[in-house]
Structure 1
Amino acid sequence: MTTFAYRAINPAGKMITGAMDGASRADVLAELDRSGFTPISAEVATSAAGRSWRERLTPEPSPEHITGFTVDLAMLIKGGVALDQALLILTQMETRRWLVKLVQSLHVQLAGGASFSQVLAAHPRLFPPVYVQTIAVAENAGRLGEALTDIAEERQRNERLRRAFISAIAYPAFLIVAALGVLCFVLLYVVPQFEGALQGFRSKMSSSTTFVFDLSHAFRENVDYIVVAAAVVLFGLLIVGRMGKKGVFVRLFARLPFTRTILAHELTVTFCRTLSILLANGVPITTSLRLIRDIVRLPSAAAAIDQTIADVRQGQRLTDSLARRAIVPSHVTQMLRVGEESGKLADSAARVAGFYEAKLETSLKRLAAIIGPVMMIGVACLVAWLIISVMTALISINDLLV
């Protein structure tokens, strides 16, 4: 199969572009015609290296955009609108070009005979496996609207928690940057003003004052190397984030006292909420566990879920396996066991997730309440130390002169 870039006119009379796999150009044009579009052209898609500058600058839909798309699509489906018609309506409602292009592509592929889950699976960066698998099962069960609603609500909860986490660390991060900026300014411009005047009295200075002057001198001599090193570190962190190699940072946060509890709560919420959504939409439990394993952040939790999957496949109960692993707290396992024995595991998992979401939000607020004042005190102490060291030297020299 070859990927062709096509141009066509949709039933609403608008020009659309997209990509479609086909055996030949004629097959792609015929497929577009059968789907109700007026084909204009279909050419073999060029590689990423051959893309135009406009295509390179066109952004992909963000996770928030995908959530909004899911909410709108769920509303239309539950309102009785057919799936293909709902996608067509969304292309007419949406104004952001990159999102319009995505929905048009979904509509064309769906009209070509593919299932909705197959269409979504062609965009793995935008629609993760949990999303696709839930839709695949819901399609067969005839509950696509309910599944889309569950997915949208879960994504909205995750985005709300992400915003809470960002707001919790934004202020401390600002204070750290401010402290470093003040330190650099003092070492580069303030301390040198006093260093020349006090150079002849260096032997009479305190060790703290001498250290400040030596630190200022070393910083001025190596400021170029420090800037380059900082840029390299920031670039390296960016590359690590882009490559998805975040396990190192997660393992570090899992060992710190303030963030260890937050990660534990986040793991419980992720495990229980995802399990609830997947089971409620008819996904088999082993498949649900495999999908959960792919989205948990802690590598140790992923390994424990692998062992749980093996236990469940051998006929053991989920909660019996969880009781031997360190995935969720023991009392959570007990609550899940009640639901498992009564045949309402999805409901029990949803209740646990709701409870721990509240605990997670409280933990994030507590973290922000602690780190903010601590960082402010630290910045104040840093500035006070620099000022006191220099002023002490000035006062002592003045006493000697008098």
Structure 2
Amino acid sequence: MPDFAYIARNETGQRVEGVLEGASQRDVLASLSAQGLFPLKVNASSKDVRKSGGLKVRPQAMSRFYTQLAGLLRSGVPLLRSLDVLKKQSSNPSLKEITKDLHSRISEGDSLADAMARHPRAFDELSRSIVRAGGEGGFLEEALERVAKFADQQAELKARVLGAMAYPIFLAVFGVSIVTILVIFFVPKFEGLFARLRERGELPAVTDMLLWLSDTLSSYGLIIAAALVGIYLFTKAKLSTDAGRLWLDRWQLKIPQAGKIYGNLAVSRFCRVLGTLLAGGVPIVKSLKISSDSTGNRVLSEAVNEAAENITAGESLAEPLAASGHFPTDVVEMIAVAEQSNTLETVLGNVADSLEKETWRRLDLFVRLLEPVMLVILASAVLVIVIALLLPILKTAMTM
């Protein structure tokens, strides 16, 4: 049975903490009550948290954790004492539990990086590798600050992309909803009015098609919805395979306009991750293996893995990146020059900054063009419905 950590008060009001085994949280609450304790808080213990791969914490909270821990260490506060301070002041239950476990693990002799590895959902491989390099190289505070800076940059990147796409997505959902409501609920009200015109063959083709569409959606809407869900699930299953994912990643890079934006974001993320790892003292081959996954695209990831093999063989990093055809020429040239001048981590950071700026310009232009196009499509759809309904009425009025 799992263990549960609890906080309770006894009959005299004294605070009591401990760990109790139970089949469920409810059983533990009952056991505490039977012992004359008043439960304040009962959670799965840190051991059971580790069994499930650890708790997940938002990037913003993790960034604050790294920054605060680095600040305490720079102020001369020992690591265990620093973790104890962060545990007490944390308002995030998941982060508090993780910090408690880090403290316990380090007290037992683990390094900070080893303790972090117990919580892979909170501490990714990049963070653990930089912290390990910092701990072994004697620059743990600087390593933590680098991880915090990287987490902030990635959180800002994600927020800007989501913010830019929020309005177009809203327009798409709103437009589809409006047209669907009109076709399913509004158009059928005119069917009786147009029945006689249809019998005489005088109903305009556009109106006849609209009535047919409305009748089909009204009668077979659930079947169509079920079919769409089935298609979605089938497609999702296919794309979850290695071949399907590779096909999707290739297709994403080839989409007009959007493919360039997507590719630049992936390359900038790779450069940012690789530069951060190298600056944090992580060996280049290991850095490449970690950063290959950061692209989020298997086509680019394969190119990075080939680059890692080249480095192992004593060859250039830039050549396989250029051969893939998906890394911008100027980026590859800058990496080649940086390899020769031994300034790779600095140049990679500059490349990431440059690519992100270019991506924002492209994304802003793309969204500015997309919004009026979507408005025109929505207005056109509504206009077609209105014309289809008014046309037979006007035609009848003109013949009277």
- TM class by shorter-chain length? 0.7 to 0.9
Alignment of 1:231-380 (within 5 A): 250-380=249-379
Give per-residue Cα distances to partners, 1:3-47, cap 9 Å, x unaligned: 9847489xxx8847699xxxxxxxxxxxxxxxxxxxxxx999679
- Counterpart of 1:257 in 2: which secondary structure? coil
Q: Report the TM-score, using the length of structure 1 for normalisation.
A: 0.82
Q: Deviations over 1:339-395 (max 9, x none)?
A: 222221111111111111211222222222122221111111111111111111211
Distance 2:222 2:362 in 1: 40
**Partner residue of 1:141 out of 131, 137, 144:** 137
Instruction: Tell me the equivalent position of 2:41.
Output: none
In structure 1, what is the Cα distance between the partners aligned to 2:250 and 2:63?
A: 29
CA 1:8/1:86 → structure 2, altered by over 3 Å: closer, same or farther? farther
Aligned to 1:219: 217
- Flag structure 2 segments of 5+ consecutive residues without an equivalent: 8-14, 22-43
- Per-residue CA deviation, residues 91-138 of structure 1 (Å, 9 max, x unaligned), is 111122222111111111111110111111111122111111111111
The higher-RCO structure (CA 8 Å, 6+ apart) is 1
Q: How many corresponding residue pairs?
A: 367
Aligned residue for 1:198, secondary structure, equals helix
> Displacement of 1:239 after TM fit?
8.7
User: What do residues 58-103 of structure 1 show as CA deviations (whole Å, max 9, x unaligned)?
Assistant: 9732233222322222222233322211111111111222221111
Aligned counterparts, 1:2-401, within 5 A? 5=3, 7=5, 15=17, 60-202=56-198, 203-229=201-227, 250-400=249-399
Distance 1:365 1:292 in 2: 27
The 1:45–1:282 alpha-carbon spacing in structure 2 relative to 1, beyond 3 Å, is closer
Distance 1:7 1:181, change over 3 A: closer
Cα separation, partners in 2 of 1:43 and 1:366, compared to 1, 3 Å: closer
| Cα distance change of structure 1 residues 230 and 321 upon mapping to structure 2, 3 Å threshold | closer
Q: Is the 8 A contact 2:87 2:99 kept in 1?
A: yes
Greater Cα offset, 196-205 or 261-270: 261-270
Q: 1:393 to 1:235 in 2, by over 3 A?
A: same
Corresponding letter in the other structure for 1:261: K
How far, CA to CA, are the matches of 1:274 and 1:259 in structure 2? 23
Quickly say closer, same or farther: Cα 1:97–1:113, change in 2 above 3 A: same
Deviation at 1:150, TM superposition (A): 1.2
| Secondary structure at 1:297 match in 2 | coil
| Whole-angstrom CA distance in 2 between matches of 1:128 and 1:47 | 16
Opposite residue 323 of structure 2, the aligned amino acid is R
Query: Partners of 2:347 and 2:398 in 1: how far apart?
Result: 75
Report the Cα distance in structure 2 between the residues aligned to 1:197 and 1:8, rounded to whole angstroms.
70
Contact 1:339 1:345 in 2 (8 A): yes
Q: Flag the 1:45–1:59 CA change in 2: closer, same or farther, 3 A.
A: closer
Partner Cα separation in structure 1 for residue 67 and residue 233 of structure 2: 36
**In structure 1, how many angstroms separate the alpha carbons of the residues matched to 2:350 and 2:148?**
18
Asked whether the 8 Å contact 1:247–1:299 carries over to 2, the reply is: yes
The answer as to whether partners of 2:307 and 2:316 remain within 8 angstroms in 1 is no
Sort the Cα spacing of 1:238 and 1:73 in 2 relative to 1 into closer, same or farther, 3 A: farther
| Per-residue deviation, 1:246 | 6.5
User: CA separation in 2, counterparts of 1:240 and 1:68?
Assistant: 39
1: CA distance, partners of 2:291 / 2:216: 51
TM-score relative to the length of structure 2: 0.82
- How many angstroms apart in 2 are the aligned matches of 1:96 and 1:320? 46
Distance 1:59 1:287 in 2: 26
Pairwise CA distance, 1:224: 2.0
